[in-house]
Structure 1
């Protein structure tokens, strides 16, 4: 490895399994000291175990790296504050925050209960906001003390947040919210040396067993490229979490297999300006003309 993150301290949430585990291992392989956060919950958020985080830390240490466990709930203020404190108390610094923790409770909208809505919004959206708030407060204090950091934040969105996904109204709303949070954070925090970007990954994890059911099988040929391996996403995340990506902030990337895509997001398309108030009939006619001139939207995942 190149040692791209040598001397840096990276925090990765949801790092006990899947994408988070792959990210933690990749950061450690590039020289970072890693705080491995995982609550050890099931795919639906139920239960709790320290074993997943401990196993990843043991794997990093066995390979000669440095890592510690953190098993508090980062969707609480105390848990998020202790996450930042764990990095500072153990390693004396914090350079990179990768927010990845999450789970699913999929339902069609007419069957989606309030508890399932709140739980998914909480772990994904609140679980991104609170670690960001405490990490950013630390980095702002460093800047005000004359020690402007090369701080990096990588958020985890999803194609569901970019395009929607049938049966995942709660998850899609949370992941779209993460994109909005990313854009605001990038604009507000750049003055403190903090760059904030997001990735929308596609990979084989516990959360995608249903979504990618037709492509879940690992490659049959020894040495064949496994396009759904979580580790395929990690190189981009590590680069975004390193000092090497200076100047890149407020951007969203899709990453899956060997593909990386810069997402353009909402951009103004065809526009009509009357210079005065429209009547409803006029507005409808204008909207119809604009839609005819616009690119058709990307389809919602699972639409029929």
Structure 2
């Protein structure tokens, strides 16, 4: 898709933004018994962030949809791990449909690189991985050693 939009932009500059949605799920934060699925979904979010950075210059928005709906997949999760009170009536996939419609609309101009969730009545903005804090140690330029030691990391 990236190559397509780049080529289209180079042929003719867009009069309006184009939009691309990646789809992930709350499984990206991890579910018991499904680490492979969680890793794949987290990968979609990383790909979305990177594509948003790459395609912004070509007037293309890239966002991730994080739908939370009671589907056949939820039904396959052992009952003790299923969220309480989730039913097709209260959390059906039909309740997620307004979100991709919004993200693809002109109303979402300049919203890019975001992960937005919708499930039942809950609209969420999912934070991206980022450093919470940094501790900096001066490392001499003329040495191949001098970085952190395990003891210094423990002290810090």
- TM-score exceeds 0.5: yes
Distance in 1, Cα, partners of 2:6 & 2:136: 42
C-alpha distance in structure 2 between counterparts of 1:158 and 1:227, whole Å = 18
Q: Distance in 1 between matches of 2:126 and 2:106?
A: 22
Q: Measure the CA separation in 1 of the matches of 2:13 and 2:130.
A: 36
Deviation, structure 1 residue 142: 2.1
Any stretches of 5+ residues in structure 1 without a counterpart?
Answer: 1-132, 219-225, 287-304
> 5 Å matches for 1:125-136?
133=1, 136=2
Cα deviation, residue 182, structure 1: 0.2
Structure 1 position 159, deviation (Å)? 1.5
1:180 Cα shift?
0.8
Q: Secondary structure at the match of 1:209?
A: helix
Q: What TM-score do you get using the length of structure 1 for normalisation?
A: 0.44
Residue 131 (structure 2) pairs with residue 268 (structure 1): yes
- Partner of 2:142 in structure 1? none
TM alignment of 1:132-143, pairs within 5 A: 133=1, 136-143=2-9
Tell me the alpha carbon deviations over residues 166-220 of structure 1, each in whole angstroms, 9 at most, x when there is no partner. 21111111101101100111011112221100021110111111344643434xx
Asked whether the equivalents of residues 227 and 256 of structure 1 are also in contact (C-alpha less than 8 Å), the reply is: no
- Structure 2: runs of 5 or more not aligned: 140-146
User: What does residue 281 of structure 1 align with?
Assistant: 151
Structure 1 residue 249: deviation in Å?
0.3
Corresponding residue for 1:256?
Answer: 119
**Distance 1:217-1:255 versus aligned 2 partners, 3 A rule:** closer
Change (3 A) 1:144 1:262: same
Q: Which has the higher contact order (CA 8 A, sep 6+)?
A: 2
Which aligned segments of 4 or more residues in structure 1 are displaced greater than 6 angstroms? none
Q: What displacement does 1:278 show?
A: 2.3
Distance 1:278 1:138, change over 3 A: closer
Q: How many positions carry a matched residue from both structures?
A: 144
Return closer, same or farther for 1:140/1:213 CA change in 2, 3 Å cut-off: same
Task: Tell me by how many angstroms 1:139 deviates.
Answer: 2.4
Residue 236, structure 1, aligned to residue 88, structure 2: no
| 1:153 maps to 2:10 | no
Aligned counterparts, 1:156-195, within 5 A = 156-161=23-28, 163-195=29-61
Shift, 1:237, TM fit: 1.0
Task: Specify the alignment match of 1:246 in structure 2.
Answer: 109
Aligned-partner SS, 1:227: helix
Q: Distance in 1 between matches of 2:115 and 2:87?
A: 28
Q: TM-score, normalised by structure 2?
A: 0.82
